Every structure is written in structure tokens, then in C-alpha cells.
A and B are shown apart, each in its own frame.
Chain A
Amino acid sequence: MDDENTAAAGAQLEASALPNEIPLDGGVDGPILIANEFADVVVSRVLTRNGMRLDIWSPRRGTRVQLDAVELDCLSYQEPETFTEMLARKPGG
């Protein structure tokens, strides 16, 4: 009984943690421009033969990275300091 209760509570927690709907603000097709006064990047979804990646292109810098779901998922739970460390390592002057 206890185990059942624990499982039910777990399922409830999981469901409440999910958003009610997938946020579609800004569209899903891209490319999407993300810019502030310090940088600008173009973000778009790239379909591969067997899956998809997110393409992040910095036109000013000419650099590009294509991240898969695992890498993006990993970004979603990083602390702000992780990005600070990345910028400290390569400030991109």
C-alpha cells in the first residue's frame, strides 16, 4: 500500500512538473534571431536523415554548432556559472 502511494505521488509530481502545453511563442520553424547589444545568433532546426539538431549560427563570428537533444537537455539543467565558465575559457574577443 505504501509502495502504491509512493508511486502515485511520484506520478503526480511528474505530471505537475510538465508544462500544460508545448510553448510555441516565436514559432517552431525558424530560423529565429536571438540578439542583444552584445551578440546575435540565428537558431534553426536542422533535419538529418534519421533525426534532428538545433543549429546555432553566429553570423558576425562565422561560427556554428549543431546540438542534439541530449546536449540541449544538458544545457537546460546547467547553472548560470557554467556559461560564465565557458565565456571565461573562450571570451571570443
Chain B
Amino acid sequence: MAAIGTSEGVQRMLADMREGVLQGRVPARIFNDQEIFDLERDKLFSTAWCFLAHESEIPKNGDYVVRYIANNSIIVVRDEHGNLTASLNMCRHRGNMMCKSEMGNASHFRCSYHGWVYKNSGELIGVPYFKEGYEGKLDRKQWGLVKVRIDTYAGLIFGTLDPDAPSLDEYLGGFQFYLDIYLKQGAGGSEVHGPPDHWVAETDWKICAENFSGDGYHTPVAHQFGFHLGYFPSSGATHSEGWAVHIPDKGHSIGLGHTPGMPPFFGYPDQLVEQMRASLSPEQMEVFSKTRTAVGSVFPNLSFLIQPFSLVPGEPGVRFCTMRLWHPIGPGRMEMWSWCLVPKDASDEYKEEAYKAYTLAFGQAGTFEQDDFENWTRVTRAAGSTAVRGVEFPYVMGLDRPRLDDFPGPGYAVSPYVTDTNFRNLWSTWLDYLTREV
């Protein structure tokens, strides 16, 4: 369905939203609406850099995973020469899906319809009845798989459908400083621990992306059992403490929650902290050492979280890292990918402990995950109901809060951690995409 039929009502809502976001108002309707979904597909996901995979998911030649940008299925593969490449998951002959498995290893892909064979890097090389049927006249060079532009940062593979998009480096716009807390854990960096958890949720992707742009406000309430039982090393009395940082006009945000008195890098093995001292800048060490929770998002729909979590209530927490992709598949509906990232150079024992802490809190059966999706699904349902279509939500928290002048990292930083500042930037960036000509 094309977005050419955007109604006057939605156009007016988006026009009003420009001023509304500055004043701290966001319309509920954007969280569950067919027209908004169509606009996001055609104007946002068709031009932004979107996360596809982590390099450690395809470590060996021939390893591939199938991922999506909007409704486009994409094969991400390490070819026979070790190079990363991505192609639309579609045979050029009649459009059949090439790879049906979500992951696998193959030097060549063979279409299950008429049998065209491609190198895993996308070149068409084998055509049944080439002489008899095509009389040798088909130019195989013209009919390779359709390439998708990709680039990487610290193991993350991003793709864009826009050949004119700025570089990934420019797109990230300094947010790399904060991504390093997740991606450069220890000297060898981070790697995925096992395959991702993957499920469908009746939730709008933006609710999740907003939450992971630094919503420390919900934590003591939505996840109160974690505080009360002693899984989570924070207290409702001091939970607002910390920083919220965003990259203006880029949409990337992070919340950095603090717990007074918590030792630096609490929950990491000492050896790992020593390695990070060598691989991270002094400014990064200053920001990260104080951080209990780092919850951040790369616009539009890739998020991360690091925090200590106790495997046994009351015992010292183990620091774990999750990476998640909120992939829209319909208005108010999404596919969820959730990974556990571990430091590549850490001991197997620590990796297992961190993975246990991750599964206790996140993934389908994770306690925090269930708390969140319960709420997010209800928000989505409300946003799609008829009487709510004209209702707005308040985003006024921290509206007049001054920028921190002495903050050591890039971007726009404020304190405390509990604020809507990051979200207003998220929504104004989202609005930039949805209202511009493509």
C-alpha cells in the first residue's frame, strides 16, 4: 500500500505535531495507525540506516542470516572471500524467496522455483537449460541478486535502501561514543551469545524505541518487583539520578542511570575493566564508570541496555548487555529480535553468568521483558481505539532543563536521568523523516 493517499487528517496531525513536540505534546494516534505505518515504511525505513546483523552472527565464510528493512527481506552474508555483503532475498528470475531459513551456511544459493544459482555474494552463475532454453543469450551479469548498501560500526552491520543516504558515520553523528559501552566491552569487543530470541508482539515499535531511549521513569514502577526483591541495584528514592543524552536532529539517545555509592563498573570482572581502560577514551571512562544502567537507541529501531542484575535476589549483580531490534510489521504490530552481547575476551564463566542475567530479565521469558510488553501492548491497543485518536500525551518533563556545559561526551546532555528531553528529540527527528519529500 503506497503512502500517496495520506489523508488530510493525518497531514494536519503531523503539521500540528511540529509545534506540539516543542511544547511537549505528542499525539496518541501515531502509536497505532495504518497511515502512519505506511508513511514510516515509505519515508523513514526507506531512507534511514537500519540495523541488519552483528558481524559475530556470520563469522565464517558462507554464514548468512535473513533480516528486514521495512517489508524487504534481506540476506546478510559473509562471502567465500570473507567480505560482508547484503542482497534482497529474491531470485531475479521470477521473484521467489532465495533463503527460507533465518540463518545458514551456503557458498551458493539455488532458487527452489526454476533453479537459478547465485554465488552467495549475489552474482548469477547457474541457469538451467541455459543453452537449450535461452540459447546462451541471457546475460547473467545483468541478473544478479539486487544489492543492498551496507556499512559497519564496531561489529554492527547496517543497511540502507537509499543510495543517496549520508555515510553511516555521519548518520550516527557522534553517538558512537555511547555505543562503545555496548560494543567495546573488553579488548576484543563484543559478540552475540547464541542466536537471537525472536517473536511477534502486538505492540507499536515506537513505544519500545522510546522506552529504550532512556525511560528510567518507568523502572521503579513497571519493574518494582526487581527493586523489592533485590534483583536490581537501585532504589526508588535515588532512581532519578544520572544523565540523559541525545544527538540533536539525529534521534539517537541514551539514558545513563546512577546509583549513589555504587563502585565503578560494578558487576563487571576486574580484568574486563582493565581492558576497557586501554580501549576506551578517558572521557568515555568518566561517563561509563559511574553508569549503573545504560539504556540507549540508535534511531530508528535498534536499542541496547547494560545493567547489573542479580541471579539470586540480594546477591551482587552480574552486568549483562542486550541488543534489540523493534521491527514494524503492521500498525501496532512488530517482530522482536533480542540478543545477548558478551565481551569476546571474557571467560566462559562470565559469559554464562551474563547470559543467565540476560535471560532472567529479557527475552520472551524475561521478567522485565514481560512487564514491559504487558504495558506496551495495552498502550498500543488504546492508541488504536477511536476515542483516543485526537488525544495527546504530555512530554513536558525537563522542558526548561538547561544543557550540562561540562558533560564530557558529545550531544545534548541533561540531568537527572528521568526526563522527556531525549524523547522530544526522538519525535522531532521522526517527524523530519515523515514530513519530508522522498
Contacts and interface: CB of A to CB of B under 8 A. Distances in A.
Interface string A17-46: 000000000000000000011110000000
A39 B108 CA distance: 10
Contact of B128 (A39, A80, A84, A91): A91
A80 B107 contact: yes
B108 A87 contact: yes
Contacts, number: 50
A83 B107 contact: yes
A24 B299 CA distance: 47
A37 B101 CA distance: 7
A83 B117 CA distance: 12
Interface residues of B, number: 23
Nearest to A86: B126
Contact of B110 (A83, A84, A88, A91): A91
B403 interface: no
Contacts of A62: none
Interface residues of A, number: 13
B45 interface: no
B136 interface: no
A87 B107 CA distance: 11
B431 interface: no
B99 A91 contact: no
A93 B115 contact: yes
Majority DSSP secondary structure for residues of B touching A: loop
A92 interface: yes
Contacts of B114: 93
A80 B115 contact: no
B129 interface: yes
Contact of A80 (B80, B100, B106): B80
A87 B106 contact: no
A91 B127 contact: yes
Majority DSSP secondary structure for residues of A touching B: loop
A37 B125 CA distance: 18
A92 B314 CA distance: 62
Contact of B108 (A38, A90, A93): A38
A36 B104 contact: yes
Contact of B116 (A36, A83, A91): A91
A90 B117 CA distance: 10
A80 B125 contact: no
Contact of A93 (B101, B119, B129): B129
Q: Which of A39, A80, A90 is most buried by chain B, counting CB atoms within 10 A of its CB?
A: A80
A37 B81 contact: no
B429 interface: no
A38 B119 contact: no
Contacts of B100: 37
Interface string A51-90: 0000000000000000000000000000010011001101
B68 interface: no
Contact of B105 (A36, A83, A84, A90): A36
B109 interface: yes
Contacts of A84: 107-108, 119, 125
A91 B106 contact: no
Contact of B106 (A37, A90, A92): A37
Q: Give the 10 A-B CB pairs with smallest separation, nearest first.
A: A93-B128, A91-B126, A93-B115, A80-B80, A88-B125, A38-B110, A37-B101, A91-B117, A87-B126, A36-B106
30 contacts: A36-B101, A36-B105, A36-B106, A37-B99, A37-B100, A37-B101, A37-B104, A37-B106, A38-B108, A38-B109, A38-B110, A80-B81, A84-B107, A84-B125, A87-B117, A87-B125, A87-B126, A88-B117, A88-B125, A91-B116, A91-B125, A91-B126, A91-B128, A92-B110, A92-B115, A92-B117, A92-B128, A93-B114, A93-B115, A93-B128
Given A38-B108, A84-B107, 8 more contacts: A37-B100, A38-B110, A87-B108, A87-B125, A91-B126, A91-B127, A92-B128, A93-B129
